[in-house]
Structure formats: structure tokens, C-alpha cells
Structure 1
Amino acid sequence: MKNQPLRIGGGAFNGRRLQSVPGRSVRPTSGRVRQALFNMLRPVIRDAIFVDLFAGTGSVGLEALSHGARQVYFVEADRRVAATLQRNVEQCAVGDRATIIVAPLPLAVQRLPAVLRADVLFLDPPYDSELAEQTLTALEPRSLLAPDGMVIWQHAAWHPVPQEVRIGGQRCLGGKPRRYGDTQVSIFT
């Protein structure tokens, strides 16, 4: 099965083509889900600090930069995938607003700056894993979330999610999840 072209769907880089990773090791967030996500984030994304956990090709974080995010921290475990991510960051000429951390989650949480106060923490782990839960547990003692920050968890529609998450003592409650085919997005504020 041939990979579909990956493009930025809105903002300053609208239509910009991104490199993808051959094969099935990376499942980029679909354009439909990204468009819906950034329509929801429109009131808060400008000048935001965005953390793209399980970044893959970087399509979500680059979409955040395209819509006006001030800074994006990309976390990706696979060095080969991170090289593609780096090329996509260079292609969009946003290296001054992008930080790439190459390390597996949840261990990579320790590599995020201690002074970081993210407006949006975005998790898109492999659907057949418990990595999101493990990462959220690793994030719990860290004060990485801004006072009005949110956690967005993209997951398989069948995957159970908790009613709340805690980041650095902040209790974030889940709202009504949004479903897009087999994909579901849960937002905690």
C-alpha cells in the first residue's frame, strides 16, 4: 500500500508537502483529524507552547507552527523517523521555533526543559500500546503544563481513557471525546 502525500492543512504553510516514512512504522495523523483539531485549537494556538509527544513526521507540531504556535517540542524515539522529522522542520524553515528530542517515551519526559510550561501537550502513541498511560504517569510529578494548559490524547476509538489526568499537581478533566472513524481525540482541560 502506497503512503498518501502528507501536507500541512492550514495556516502559514497551507499545502506544504511533508516527507513521510515508508512502511507502516509511523501512522501520521490524518488531514481530517488535524483540521478538526486545529479548528478546536484556533482560540489558543497563536503564540502557544506546544509539545508533540510521539511526533513521528511532525505533521501535528508543524501544523501548530503553521497556525501560529510560538514553540514546538517534538519527541520521537526512532532516529530514522527523527531524521525525516528534522527534514520536515527544515523544509518549513522553522528550526528556530522547533526543538527535537530523540528519546523513547516515557523516558524522554526527563529531557524536556524543567522550566517548560506547555499550553498544549499532544499525545499520539501507537494505538496498540500503553505508552500514553506510562507517559502521563511520568508527566504527573512534573509541572510542565501552563495554568490554563490542556492535554490532547489521540487514540483508537476502542481504547479506554480516564476521566481525568494530572500533570504537576494540576487536575485536567476530560470532556466529550470526538470521534473520526477509528480515531478518537480526548481533550483534558
Structure 2
Amino acid sequence: MKSQPLRIGGGAFNGRRLQSVPGLQVRPTSGRVRQALFNMLRPVIRDAIFVDLFAGTGSVGLEALSHGARQVYFVEQDRRVMATLRRNIEQCGVGHRVSIISAPLPQAVQRLPATLKADILFLDPPYGSQLAEQTLSALEPLSLLAPHGLVIWQHAVRHQVPRAIVIGDRLCREEESRRYGDTRLSIFA
């Protein structure tokens, strides 16, 4: 199956084409959901440090950079997907503003810098898996979230998420949940 190009939906790279990964292994966040996400993040994205867990093609993290994020940490384990991610970063010319961690989650959280204070942690695990819960458990003892930081969890509508999560010494409660077709964004602050 030939891959369909993705497009950045706004900001400095608006309309920029990104490569996708052939087949059904990677499910990029739809343009509609990315647009809604970055409309919500508009007040906080400028100069933010954004962590894109389960990065895939990098479309969400690159959209964050397009909207003014200062730095993005991409976490991805699959080598074939990683090659696509690197090409997309190169196409956008933002290599100096990204860090890539090539390791499986949840173990990869140990490779994030100990001094990191992320403004936004974005989780988009494979639907139907428990990888988000496992990753959040691995993040629990780490103080990686800035005092005003957000955790955004993209998941299938049918997937039940907890009302609160702990990251470091921070208790983050679900503040908002928005549905887009079969996808839900749960925002914790």
C-alpha cells in the first residue's frame, strides 16, 4: 500500500508535507485532531518543551514546533518508523530543536534528561494496548513535568482512563476530555 503524505496544519510550517509509514502499523493523528489539539494549546505552546511519546511519524511533535514550541523530544522504538521520523524532521529543517530517543516505552522514559521540565507530555500509544498506563507508571517517580505542565493522552473513545495521574510530586487531574470520532483527547493538569 502506498503511503499518503501528511500535512502540517498550521503555524510556521503550514501545509508542509510529511511522509507516512506504509501499512497499518502506524496510525498518525488525524489532521482534524491535531488542529483541535493545537487550538487548545495555543495559549501555552509558544516556547514550550514538548515530549512526543510514541512519536511515530512525528506529525504531532512537528506540529508543536510549527506552532512555536522551543524543543521537542521524540520517543520511538521502531527502526523503520524512525527513518520516516528522521526524514520528516529533516524536511522541516528543525534538527537543532529536537532530541530523539530510540527505545521502547515504558523503558525509554529513563533516557529522558533528568533535568527535563516538560511543559507538555503527549501520549498516543497503540490503541488497545496498556502501554500508556505502563508508561505513566514509569513516569510516576520522575519529576519531568514543569509546575504548569500538561499531560495529553490520545486514546480510543472506548478506552477508560483514570481521573488522575501522578508524575513526580505532581497529582494531575483530568481537566478536560474531547471526542473526535473514535478518538478522545484527555487533558490532565
Indicate yes or no: 2:24 matched with 1:18.
Answer: no
What is the CA–CA distance in structure 1 between the aligned matches of 2:155 and 2:180, rounded to whole Å? 10
| Alpha-carbon shift at residue 107 of structure 1 (Å) | 0.3
The aligned counterpart of 2:126 is 126
- Structure 1 vs Structure 2: percent identity of aligned residues? 79
Give 3-state SS (helix, strand or coil) of 1:174's partner: strand
Letter of the 1:100 partner, please give it.
I
The aligned counterpart of 2:9 is 9
What is the CA–CA distance in structure 2 between the aligned matches of 1:163 and 1:170, rounded to whole Å? 14
Please give the root-mean-square deviation of Cα atoms over the aligned residues, in Å: 0.8
Give 3-state SS (helix, strand or coil) of 2:88's partner: helix
* Mean Cα deviation higher: 134-143 or 175-184: 175-184
What is the CA–CA distance in structure 2 between the aligned matches of 1:39 and 1:3, rounded to whole Å? 27
Give 3-state SS (helix, strand or coil) of 1:105's partner: coil
What is the CA–CA distance in structure 1 between the aligned matches of 2:83 and 2:71, rounded to whole Å? 19
What is the CA–CA distance in structure 2 between the aligned matches of 1:32 and 1:128, rounded to whole Å? 21
The aligned counterpart of 1:139 is 139
What is the CA–CA distance in structure 2 between the aligned matches of 1:107 and 1:147, rounded to whole Å? 24
The aligned counterpart of 1:72 is 72
User: TM-score with structure 2 length normalisation?
Assistant: 0.98
Contact 2:50–2:121 (CA under 8 A) maintained in structure 1 = yes
Residues matched between the structures, number = 189
What residue ranges of structure 1 are gaps of 5+ in the alignment?
none
The aligned counterpart of 1:155 is 155
Letter of the 1:71 partner, please give it.
Q
* Superposition misfits of 4+ residues, deviation over 3 angstroms: 1-4
Give 3-state SS (helix, strand or coil) of 1:20's partner: coil
Q: CA-to-partner distance for each residue in 1:92-129, whole Å, 9 max, x for gaps?
A: 00000011110000000000000000000000000010
Letter of the 2:85 partner, please give it.
L
What is the CA–CA distance in structure 2 between the aligned matches of 1:2 and 1:57, rounded to whole Å? 15
Give 3-state SS (helix, strand or coil) of 1:110's partner: helix
Contact 2:156–2:182 (CA under 8 A) maintained in structure 1 = yes
What is the CA–CA distance in structure 1 between the aligned matches of 2:28 and 2:44, rounded to whole Å? 23
| Alpha-carbon shift at residue 175 of structure 1 (Å) | 1.9
What residue ranges of structure 2 are gaps of 5+ in the alignment?
none
Contact 2:176–2:188 (CA under 8 A) maintained in structure 1 = no
